[in-house]
Amino acid sequence: MATAKEWAEDICSKGPLAVRATKKAMIRGANLPLNEGLWVENSLAMPLYDTEDYAEGSAAFKEKRKPIFKGKLY
């Protein structure tokens, strides 16, 4: 249980839009051939590059600080 709690805390510290997209990709792609699963993953990831969270994550990485994600698409 302690390990599960650690994993949950780690996942919750990530960008909520990226976590949501990752979960969708895993669910939708679980039973697909690799090339189709990768297409699903890419189609869910591409829109995230135009979000405030992506810009915040990139800026925080460059500035060596913890990001403050808002979970907003635009």
Whether 15 shows a pLDDT value over 80: the answer reads: yes
Is 36 within a domain?
Answer: yes
> Domain holding 44: CATH number?
1.10.12
Q: Give the total number of structural domains in the chain.
A: 1
Is 27 within a domain?
Answer: yes
20-47 core/surface letters (b: 16 or more CB in 10 A; e: else): ebbeebeeebeeeeeeebeebbeebeee
pLDDT tier, 73 (very low <50, low <70, confident <90, very high otherwise): confident
Residues spanned by the domain of 35:
2-62
Cβ neighbours of residue 45 closer than 8 Å, sequence gap 6 or more: 21, 25
Span 2-17, average pLDDT: 93
Name the average pLDDT for the chain: 94
Q: What is the DSSP string of 5-68?
A: HHHHHHHHTS-HHHHHHHHHHHHHHTTS-HHHHHHHHHHHHGGGGGSHHHHHHHHHHHTTS---
Is 37 within a domain?
Answer: yes
Is 73 within a domain?
Answer: no
